[in-house]
């Protein structure tokens, strides 16, 4: 079997709510989803989602190759762009092709990916995450009640701007999830919006009211010294890593004991997640993939590593024209038996119903606020849409 070409489709996900974080939000709740279909000479195709950046530069590393040599092909893609660097958007393109390669490998073997990777149990534990900075209190309660109906016992709030509001809203999350556990796990995600002392003061204030399981991305992603000092100063675990593009970027954080929960962004792919997971396992640290909506196949990899803690579940649906062989129940993901990673594509449905929408809008969560980390005090109040208290 040889790789012969690829095609790119574009569909969208309708979240049904505004989504975002402390940096901004997308009011429409519509985001584009690139779909890459990797073709072979025997008619078998692999599906990848998440990013379509730099595919033309990356594909020569795969053309004519047997797709079953996934790990070696992943390194060939890294080598193909080594001079410019593989970070950022290019790493997303590598991940989408990597996802398609793993899909091909599992389909060729006639097995679901979780079993091919060595998993024994198809259940992947998870936690609920609403990307909820722009939800008012009523909508916040409704979202977490819906997730509680699916058995979730943990929830992650987007916050970091107004400690009083976050304390109140964490209470709303806890109340919704308490139907499944008297002590639900509560996480607070600041999306790199603090400096060190802000983080210590802010988390200390929150911890007077809530037992936080972890605080996520409190500081800039590369600040190993700051994360280590923060972890020693608060009760909550420090979770970070979702925006690190490449195993080598974790080295300083791991060596300095700067991270308690090692995270990997699902947008960066399966092979990346596997390598990060084993690097964390070598240090007796748990791993937690972030954003399964960008790459559902990472759930299969999570089922196969020994130190998986919980995966972020942000939405119960799927992009238009995509069907996923899995169920979300009992507080996690129940993976199916379809060969491959379980995604199928209805190209006619995509062609009929595609709508435009992007993460990359000026007021969105992928644009860092100009005054992030530069403030003296919390605002007196912050509206649900984030119009006050610029970070």
Instruction: Give percent above pLDDT 90 in the chain.
Output: 87
Confidence of residue 358 (pLDDT cuts 50, 70, 90): low
Pairing relation of β-strands 45-49 and 322-324?
unpaired
On the question of pLDDT at 360 being above 70, the answer is no
Q: How wide is the angle at C-alpha 188 spanned by C-alphas 235 and 86, nearest 5°? A: 105
The confidence score (pLDDT) of residue 126 equals 98
Confidence of residue 384 (pLDDT cuts 50, 70, 90): very low
Q: Does the 114-339 domain belong in CATH 3.20.20.120?
A: yes
Average pLDDT over residues 13-31: 94
Confidence of residue 374 (pLDDT cuts 50, 70, 90): confident
The confidence score (pLDDT) of residue 28 equals 93
On the question of pLDDT at 73 being above 90, the answer is yes
Q: Map out the domains of the chain as residue ranges.
A: 3-111, 114-339
Which of the two residues, 73 and 381, has the higher pLDDT score? 73
Neighbouring-strand partners of residue 36: 8, 48
Our measurement of the distance from residue 2's CA atom to the centroid of its chain's CA atoms, rounded to an integer in Å, reads 31
The confidence score (pLDDT) of residue 386 equals 43
Average pLDDT over residues 282-309: 97
Element (H, E) at 369: none
Of 141-145, 190-194, 242-246, 354-358, minimum mean pLDDT range: 354-358
Average pLDDT over residues 151-180: 98
- Region of residue 101 (phi > 0: left; psi between -120 and 50: alpha; otherwise: beta): alpha
Mean of per-residue pLDDT scores for the chain: 93
The confidence score (pLDDT) of residue 353 equals 81
- Give the separation between CA 120 and CA 302, rounded to whole angstroms: 11
| Residue 58: other Cβ atoms inside 10 A | 22
Q: Report H helices in the chain.
A: 55-58, 70-80, 89-109, 113-116, 137-149, 163-177, 196-207, 224-233, 251-255, 270-281, 298-302, 347-353
- Give the separation between CA 201 and CA 116, rounded to whole angstroms: 46
On the question of pLDDT at 385 being above 60, the answer is no
Q: Does the 3-111 domain belong in CATH 3.30.390.10?
A: yes
Confidence of residue 387 (pLDDT cuts 50, 70, 90): very low
**Contact predicate 58/80, CB 8 Å:** yes
């Amino acid at each position: 079997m040889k790789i012969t070409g690829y095609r790119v489709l574009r569909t969208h996900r309708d979240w049904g709510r505004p989504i975002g974080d402390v940096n901004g939000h997308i009011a429409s709740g519509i985001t584009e989803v690139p779909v890459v279909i990797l073709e072979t000479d025997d008619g078998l195709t692999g599906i990848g989602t998440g990013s379509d950046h730099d595919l033309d530069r990356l594909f020569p590393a795969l053309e004519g190759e047997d797709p079953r040599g996934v790990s070696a092909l992943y390194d060939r893609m890294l080598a193909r762009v080594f001079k410019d660097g593989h970070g950022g958007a290019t790493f997303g393109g590598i991940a989408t092709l990597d996802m398609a390669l793993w899909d091909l490998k599992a389909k060729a073997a006639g097995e679901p990916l979780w079993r091919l990777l060595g998993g024994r149990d198809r259940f992947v534990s998870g936690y609920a995450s609403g990307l909820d900075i722009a939800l008012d209190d009523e909508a916040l309660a409704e979202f977490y009640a819906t997730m509680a109906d699916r058995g979730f016992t943990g929830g992650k709030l987007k916050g970091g701007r107004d400690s009083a509001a976050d304390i109140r809203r964490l209470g709303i999350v806890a109340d919704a999830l308490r139907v499944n556990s008297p002590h639900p796990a509560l996480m607070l995600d600041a999306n790199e919006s603090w400096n060190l002392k802000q983080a210590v003061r802010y988390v200390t204030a929150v911890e007077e009211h809530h037992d936080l399981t972890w605080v996520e991305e409190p500081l800039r992603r590369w600040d190993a010294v700051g994360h280590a000092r923060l972890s020693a100063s608060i009760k909550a675990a420090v979770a970070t890593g979702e925006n690190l593009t490449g195993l080598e970027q974790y080295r300083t954080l791991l060596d300095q004991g700067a991270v308690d929960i090692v995270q990997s962004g699902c947008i960066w792919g399966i092979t990346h997640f596997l390598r990060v997971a084993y690097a964390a396992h070598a240090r007796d640290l748990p791993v937690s993939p972030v954003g399964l909506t960008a790459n559902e196949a990472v759930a299969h990899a999570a089922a196969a590593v020994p130190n998986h803690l919980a995966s972020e579940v942000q939405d119960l649906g799927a992009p238009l024209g995509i069907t996923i062989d899995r169920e979300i129940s009992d507080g996690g993901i129940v993976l199916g038996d379809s060969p491959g990673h379980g995604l199928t594509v209805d190209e006619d449905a995509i062609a009929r119903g595609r709508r435009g929408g992007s993460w990359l809008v000026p007021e969105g969560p992928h644009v860092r606020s100009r005054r992030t980390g530069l403030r003296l005090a919390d605002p007196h109040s912050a509206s649900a849409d984030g119009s006050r208290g610029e970070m």
